[in-house]
Chain A
Amino acid sequence: MGTIRMDRRLFLKTAGATAGAVAATQVGCLKYFKKGRSSAADSREIPTTCELCPNKCSAIAVVEGGLIHKLNPNPENPKSRDMLCARGNAAIKQVYDPDRIKQPMIRVGARGEGKWKPVSWDEAFDFAAKKLSETKDKYGPQGTLWSSTEGFQEKFFVNLGQAFGSPNIVRHPTLCLASVNLAYGTTFGTVPSFDLLNSKYVIMAGANRFESIITPDTMDLIGSVMERKAKLVYLDPRFTVTAAKADEWYPIKPGTDMAFILAMINVIIAENRYSKDFVSAYTLGFEQLAEHVKPYTPEWAEKETEIPARDIVRIAREFADAGARALYYSGRRSSWYQNDFQMRRAQAILNAIVGNWDQMGGMVPNSTLPKGEFLFMPWDEPKAPRVDEVKTEFPLAAASDGVYLKLRENVLANKPYPIKAWMVYKQDPMNALPDQSKTLKMIEQMDFIGVIDVQMSDMAWYADVVFPESAYLERTDPVEVMPGIWPAVVYRQQVVKPIHDTKPNLEISQGLAKRLGLSDYFDYTIDQWVEAEFKDLPIPMAAEHMKKHGVWAASGQPKYGATLTPDHRFVTKSGKIEIYSDRLKDAGYDPLPVYTPPVQPPSDRFRLILGRVGYFTHANQSNNVWLHEFMPENDLWINPVPAGRLGIKNGDYVNVASSVGTVKIKARVTEEIRPDCVFMLHGFGKKSKMQSLVYNVGASDAVILETAWDKVSGNAAFHETFVKVSNA
């Protein structure tokens, strides 16, 4: 019955004994801690911040008898809107997972064989420090690679890599949203939020917001659409939950989104429906755009997208008529195609010409809140250039985040210099990167691999030493400001003491730093760090407030239109919103988005597309017993027409083969996908035996995905793989 044991009758009795205030069902900034909720005598309620995915929702942990009993949503966070999703609720099982890494471990067998020796923290630190120092002596500090994914404690890991002297820090954006960030940044000088709470007309392409949950967008949009405040037009090759809830769904031909957008711009300009005042006051390059989109007619786009021209014309008109409250939604995991940056640029331009910038119901530049900073000793800039050659290959990309797939290519080729040690924090490159065989080759090439993680991911399974990190409910983390239309500050504090011999990442980084002679850079505790951050928060008694409430947000309505003044300078070269971009032209890219038709799969192959469901979004969630119940195994969606042709029946096992690998997976013959593509969920077919629910169950998309990236941002292009499907 799980790890939380309590006599049910006693529980009901104690819980029933206390009467409380009136139930509140409304959504909004309610005050959780005025309600006086705690019931049982040994029950405590501790506010914290969820870490099951990157949304950072505010939660209240109910602790009874020293065990986490329940996580309730905290209504005081305007971004998480008084909700906690299935993943958030299941975080309890991350702590009490029998598969957890319970102490540091050093590999004794071959890599990936799964033979481990439990060791003390001292042994683990000494071992890693020795290996890192050896690599440094032989290859210089640049011979080490530090890769991590986002999280409140990621900065300590990044700092350690930098203090060590390595230029090779690679973060998650080029596996996620680098292209959308760069495209909107290039156009507007900043990446805005989308005011779905107040929008009247939303076009969403592939972003599947009702399954791929992003706060507050998911909640705002479902409310707006179902209460008939907004119309939702949804494009996706797959009939997702978002498609089911949308007013209109178009199963667009994969990879042709840009044709649809350019044709919309064509109609809006040809019919004079753009916002003339806004365009003339705030934008640059409209004339070039008008000329540029002339060939992109709705009739032309119909042939590309398979969306009828008359619908494109009508949607363009409706969109322009909604004007400032119309949104072409940007999406978030924008790692789709090799032209992804330019497609997102086309979206940004479409949004710009209807004048939805900084308007209620439109795109709104993020507000932020001040926060104190802990000042620590700075280190010297690394001397060597980055191994992924970002500066020369991707001059516009965010160099500090790196370009992951280019990096892997260069590491495999020892170009421009060898990388021989790999430190990983909280990331699973075995599943997060396409083409697992290449990642395995990269692993083979390493003299040393160290992984810091809460669970034994596939990457940890191949490591030489594993440092078990405490789960988020066992840690206090740095304070985070969450910019947005409704900005908030959130705080994650320890809910229960670590149940195993684990440490927070700061202490792991400090343990390594000490042995690498870098202690001076890490001469602080988490409490000192957090106290410094509390200092500049715009709240009286900030520390007390954050510890009691876990979150703070300004009350009142968002401020719209702050950037709409004659003297406002956008953070672009010209100071205007750049429809036509000289910066792109100078860097050798198209200054306006040029459409190139995607290569289509040959008749015996399918395009593999990826996506999410609401209860699994990341590979680190599939071994959670409360989520795994909903989907014990992933499957391959295939339309009945090609399935019939290939003799594949629902539930049959099939082989799915690309140029880089083959997986065996169960077929789900369904009408809910176009006949020219197949779909599978991420996070199954694990190699780690300490992911026991999904070890060797289902298949990992990483095995068959081919390596491709967006030309401008370097973002991985995950929808460029063609696969052959046959009965297994």
Chain B
Amino acid sequence: MAMKKKRYALVIDSRKCINCKACVVACKAENEVPVGNFRNRINEERKGEFPKLSINFEPEQCHHCEEPSCVRVCPTGASWQRKDGIVLVNYDECIGCRYCMIACPYDARYFNEEQGVVDKCTLCSHRVDRGDVPACVETCPSKVRIFGDLEDPKSRIHELLSTRRYKVKEPQTGNGPQLYYLL
């Protein structure tokens, strides 16, 4: 623990989301996600009667929880969490039992038929480790997602979470989700 602790998270300003799907395709390319599977998505909520209508878009992916239930239920230890909070799957250890898919409150995982393993958002850990932001964050036309280190008091996400109102999804699960949605 000599190194400075990091805790990666995403702050999401859903109001700016225009459902253009750039983040979804960027993820697909960056992480070679098979056609038919998605590591991130945009939830849509359409309400009202003509002409009193509303649409809300809400990008979602793995919440890289503080206490990830997917890691807890994994019988082989394939689902694991890095010290910086990123939840990953070790494909060598994964037996494809899919308990984690059931345990995830956010439906953030999928089964990769071709490889026989469960897969999910890695927060582009390979990009993050070399100092870049995740592909979904970078490509977004309206910069809906803000990526950063919660342990860094100078980070933009730290500033946003200390000055703006926000919510997390399904807090009652005790998972401690780390996708923060600005209100």
Spell out A's residues near B (CB within 8 Å): 1-2, 4, 6, 8-9, 11-12, 15-16, 18-27, 35, 37, 39, 69-73, 81-86, 88-90, 92, 210-211, 213, 218-219, 222-223, 226, 239, 241, 243-245, 249, 251, 614-615, 625-627, 629-630, 639, 671-675
Are B131 and A19 in touch, CB under 8 angstroms?
yes
Question: CA separation between A626 and B132, bound complex, in Å?
Answer: 24
In the complex, chain B residues whose CB is within 8 Å of the CB of A85 = 20, 22, 139, 141
Knowing A70-B29, A251-B51, say if A39 contacts B139 (CB, 8 Å).
no
Nearest to A11 among chain B residues (CB) is B126
Which of A6, A19, A70 has a CB less than 8 Å from the CB of B130?
A19
Q: Could you tell me if A241 and B131 are in contact, using CB atoms closer than 8 angstroms?
A: no
- Cα distance, A244 to B26, chains bound together (Å): 25
Nearest 6 pairs between A and B by C-beta? A20-B131, A15-B126, A614-B20, A20-B130, A89-B25, A244-B55
What separation, in Å, do the CA atoms of A23 and B18 have in the docked complex? 24
Contact of A70 with B30 in the complex, beta carbons under 8 Å? yes
Chain B minimum-CB-distance residue to A8 = B91
Distance, CA A210 to CA B22, complexed state (A) = 13
A8 touches B32 (CB 8 A): yes
Is B139 a contact partner of A239 (Cβ separation < 8 A)?
no
Write out the residue numbers on chain B whose beta carbons fall within 8 Å of the beta carbon of A222: 16, 18, 141-142
A25: chain B residues at CB < 8 Å are 133, 137, 143, 146-148, 156
Given the known interface contacts A245-B18, A251-B51, A671-B53, the answer about A37 and B132 at a Cβ–Cβ threshold of 8 Å is: yes
Q: Answer yes or no: B128 CB below 8 A from chain A CBs.
A: yes
Are the C-beta atoms of B142 and A89 separated by less than 8 Å?
Answer: no
- Chain B interface category by residue count: 35 or more
Report the bound CA distance from A615 to B53 in whole Å.
23
Interface of A is mostly: loop
Interface residue B48 (Cβ < 8 Å from any Cβ of A): yes
Query: Chain B nearest CB: distance from A451 CB in Å?
Result: 28
Q: Which residues of B contact A671 (CB under 8 A)?
A: 48-50, 53
Residue of A nearest to B157 (CB): A25
Residues on B with beta carbons closer than 8 Å to the beta carbon of A69: 29-30
A625 to B34, CA, bound (A): 11
Shortest Cβ distance from residue B15 to the other chain A in the assembled complex, whole angstroms: 5
B72 contacts A by Cβ under 8 Å: no
- Shortest CB–CB separation between residue B48 and chain A, in angstroms? 6
Known: A12-B126, A15-B130. 20 other contacts (CB 8 A): A2-B32, A4-B32, A19-B129, A20-B132, A22-B131, A35-B131, A69-B29, A70-B30, A85-B141, A89-B22, A90-B29, A211-B20, A219-B141, A239-B50, A241-B57, A251-B51, A614-B21, A627-B21, A672-B55, A673-B50
Distance from B160 Cβ to chain A, minimum over Cβ atoms (Å): 11
Binary interface profile of B, 1-45, with partner A (CB < 8 Å = 1, else 0)? 000000000000101101111101110111010111000000000
Residue interface mask B51-63, A partner, CB < 8 A = 1: 1011111000000
Which residues of chain B come closer than 8 Å to A11, judged between CB atoms?
Answer: 126
Given contacts A22-B131, A25-B133, A86 and B22 within 8 Å (CB-CB): yes
Q: Is B127 an interface residue (CB 8 A)?
A: yes
**A465→B137 CA distance, assembly (Å):** 44
Complex CA distance for A249 and B54, rounded to whole angstroms: 11
Give Cα distance in the complex from A6 to B32, angstroms: 9
Chain B 96-115 interface residues, beta-carbon cutoff 8 Å to A: 114-115
B125 at the interface (CB under 8 A from A): yes
> Which residues, 47 to 97 on B, are CB-close (under 8 Å) to A?
48-51, 53-57, 91-92
Task: For the complex, give the distance between the alpha carbons of A245 and B13 in Å.
Answer: 13
| A39 lies within 8 A of B126 (CB) | yes
B121 on the interface (CB 8 Å rule)? no
CB–CB A2/B34 < 8 A: yes
Residues of B near any A CB (own CB < 8 A): 13, 15-16, 18-22, 24-26, 28-30, 32, 34-36, 46, 48-51, 53-57, 91-92, 114-115, 125-133, 135, 137-143, 146-148, 156
Task: Judge whether A89 and B26 touch: CB under 8 Å.
Answer: yes
Contact A213 B126 (CB under 8 A): no
CA gap between A82 and B143 in the complex, in Å = 9
Cα–Cα, bound, A25→B145 (Å): 9
- The complex places the Cα of A35 from the Cα of B132 at a distance, in Å, of 9
- Chain B positions within 8 Å of A37 at CB level: 130, 132
Chain B residues with Cβ under 8 A from A72's Cβ?
135, 138-139
Whether B143 and A27, one on each chain, are in contact in the complex, defined by CB atoms closer than 8 angstroms, is: yes
Cβ-defined contact, A15 with B127, below 8 A? yes
How far apart sit A83 and B135, CA to CA, in the bound complex (Å)? 11
The residue on A at minimum CB distance from B28 is: A626
Contact partners of B18 in chain A: CB under 8 A: 210-211, 218, 222, 241, 245, 614
Q: B137 — nearest CB in chain A belongs to which residue?
A: A25
Pull 15 A–B residue pairs with CB atoms less than 8 Å apart, ordered by A: A1-B114, A8-B115, A15-B129, A23-B128, A39-B130, A72-B139, A85-B20, A86-B21, A89-B25, A210-B18, A218-B18, A222-B18, A244-B55, A614-B20, A673-B50
A501 shortest CB reach to chain B, Å = 26
**In the complex, are the beta carbons of A615 and B131 less than 8 A apart?**
no
**Nearest neighbor of A27 in chain B, beta-carbon distance:** B143
In the docked arrangement, what's the CA distance between A213 and B24, Å?
A: 17
The smallest C-beta distance from B28 to any residue of chain A, in angstroms, reads 6
- B11 → chain A closest CB, angstroms: 10
> Contact at B147–A23, with CB atoms within 8 Å?
yes
Which residue from chain A places its CB closest to the CB of B24 in the assembled complex? A86
Bound-complex Cα distance A70 to B130 (A): 16
Tell me the bound Cα distance from A259 to B18 in angstroms: 30
The reply to whether A23 and B132 contact each other, CB–CB distance below 8 Å, is yes
Once A9-B91, A37-B130 are accepted as A-B contacts, the answer to whether A672 and B50 lie under 8 Å apart by CB is yes
Q: Inside 8 A of B15's CB, which chain A residues have their CB?
A: 226, 245
Closest chain B CB from A91 CB (angstroms): 9
- Inter-chain contacts of A73 with B (CB < 8 A): 138-139
CB distance from A300 to the nearest CB of B (A): 22
Cβ of A62 to closest chain B Cβ, rounded Å: 9
Contact, CB under 8 Å: A83 / B132: no
Contacting residues, chain B, for A19 (C-beta < 8 A): 129-131
Known: A6-B32, A223-B142, A226-B16. A639 touches B50 (CB 8 A): yes
| A71 close to B51 (CB less than 8 A) | no
Whole-angstrom distance from the CB of B22 to the nearest CB of chain A?
Answer: 5
B132 near A1 with CB under 8 A, answer: no
Cα-based distance from A251 to B50 in the complex (angstroms):
9
Select one of B36, B135, B139 contacting A629, CB under 8 A. Answer: B36
Task: Indicate if the CB atoms of A226 and B132 lie closer than 8 Å.
Answer: no
User: Chain A residues near B34 (CB, 8 Å)?
Assistant: 1-2
Residues in A neighbouring B132, C-beta threshold 8 A? 20, 23, 35, 37
For the complex, give the distance between the alpha carbons of A37 and B22 in Å: 21
CB contacts (< 8 Å) of B46 on chain A: these are 672
Q: Are A241 and B19 in contact (CB under 8 A)?
A: yes
Q: In the complex, A24→B143 CA distance in Å? A: 12
Contacting pair A84 B139 (CB below 8 A):
yes
Q: Which of B50, B131, B148 contacts A674 (CB 8 A)?
A: B50
Residues in B neighbouring A630, C-beta threshold 8 A: 21, 24
B29: A residues at CB distance < 8 A: 69-71, 89-90, 92, 626
Q: Which residue of A lies closest to B125 (CB)?
A: A16
Cβ-closest chain B residue relative to A24: B133
Contact flag A83-B141 (CB < 8 Å), given A15-B130, A16-B125, A23-B148: yes
Residues of B within 8 A of A9 (CB): 91-92
Question: In the bound complex, do residue B53 and residue A244 qualify as a contact, i.e. CB atoms below 8 Å apart?
Answer: yes
Docked pose: A672 CA to B44 CA in angstroms: 14
Residues of B close to A88: CB separation below 8 A = 22
Minimum CB–CB distance from A491 to chain B (whole Å) comes to 21
A21 to B50, alpha carbons, bound, how many Å? 50
- Whether B131 lies near A21 (C-beta < 8 A) is yes
Could you tell me the distance between the alpha carbons of A623 and B118 in the complex, rounded to whole angstroms?
A: 29
Measured between alpha carbons, how far is A1 from B25 in the docked complex, in Å? 14
